[in-house]
Amino acid sequence: MSAAVDLASWALIAAGSAFAVIGALGLLRMPDFFTRVHAASVTDTLGAALLLAGMMLQAGLSLVAVKLAIIGVLVFFTSPTATHALVKAALERGVAPLLAKPEEESSKR
């Protein structure tokens, strides 16, 4: 494998790892449920995509790369869908965003 492919692969893996760590910090630092879910969903989806892209470069043109691509498509569709379902369930239960005004809360119910 060439040095350029190795360098690109490790850059993608490092960037994906950084996004995953930033998402974890967002879960700890954000004030309410909705901002925590947003921080986790956006950064984890991008982090997983970058990690998978880096691993696909390491795998080369093989069956492993195809499997990683299938995992990437699965994560691409299921992660935002699961996040949307969590937020809809929280809204149905009456959880309001931290900065919501009282009249906005009553109009949503």
In angstroms, rounded to a whole number, what is the distance separating the alpha carbons of residues 36 and 27? 5
Q: What is the pLDDT of residue 105?
A: 55
Measured in residues, the chain has a length of: 109
CA angle in degrees (0–180, nearest 5) for 97-101-107: 90
**Per-residue pLDDT tens digits for 62-72:** 999 999 999 99
**Per-residue pLDDT tens digits for 4-62:** 999 999 999 999 999 999 988 988 888 888 988 988 888 888 999 999 999 999 998 99
